[in-house]
Structures are given as C-alpha cells and as structure tokens.
C-alpha cells in the first residue's frame, strides 16, 4: 500500500500480529481453519479486544479470501488506511516509543557453532 509500511510477524505486547502498519496502528490477521472453532474464536476475540484497548485497529481475513479476492482485500486495507477508495494515499510516519510493550532481547551466551 502506497504511503504505508507493513511488517510481518510483529510482536505487539503478548501477541504476534501477522501484519502490522505501526504508524497507522493497523493490524491485519490472516486466519486459517484453526480459528474457526469455538476455542479459536474465543482466543481471537480476546486478542482483538486487547489490541483495540492498546489503540490498534484489527482486520481479519480468511486464508482462502486472499487467493480468491485479493483485489477486494487490498481495497479493504486501503479504506482502513485512508478512509475511502477515492482517498489519496498519504505517507504515515511512525514514532518509536521508549516504553514499548515488547520486551528487549536478553543477552545470550556465544554460540559455539558460530565461533563463540
């Protein structure tokens, strides 16, 4: 999407988003059949609530929608980013926060297989 920058497999708090445009605070989840049962639906609902409380918007698509209706999906994402299909794309700027909810990497001991 012009003007946006999506990252894949993005840690957001206790979750990992499939795709995220951090500047627009938009998360896209691509769900397979494991999300269709009662337990999957309940987990996804709780996950979406948490993300929305943190200020993110969440859009969900089924795996098969991507191969069957990619144009419709791209239009839906464009509308979520810019307000309508007729809106011009704007460039989003992401400001990094000092107190990010994702924990910092812990120093690890050197790997013997990498000469450490």
The answer as to whether 103 is a domain residue is no
* Whole-structure pTM value: 0.67
Q: What is the mean pLDDT of residues 63-77?
A: 91
Range of the domain at 62: 7-94
Q: Find out whether 29 and 37 touch, Cβ atoms under 8 Å.
A: no
pLDDT beyond 60 at 94: no
The answer as to whether 2 is a domain residue is no
pLDDT value of position 31: 81
Strand order in the sheet with 15-21: 7-12, 15-21, 26-31, 57-62
The answer as to whether 104 is a domain residue is no
CATH for 34: 3.40.960.10
pLDDT beyond 70 at 1: no
Domains identified in the chain, total number? 1
């Amino acid at each position: 999407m012009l003007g946006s920058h999506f990252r894949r497999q993005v840690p957001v708090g206790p979750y990992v988003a499939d795709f995220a445009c951090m500047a627009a605070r938009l998360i896209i989840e691509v769900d397979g059949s494991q999300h269709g049962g009662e337990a999957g639906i309940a987990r996804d609902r709780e996950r979406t609530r948490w993300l929305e409380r943190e200020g993110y918007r969440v859009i969900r698509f089924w795996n098969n929608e991507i191969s069957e209706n990619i144009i419709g999906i791209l239009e839906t994402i464009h509308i979520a980013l810019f307000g309508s299909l007729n809106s011009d794309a704007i460039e989003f700027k992401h400001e990094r926060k000092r107190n990010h909810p994702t924990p910092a990497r812990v120093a690890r001991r050197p790997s013997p297989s990498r000469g450490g």
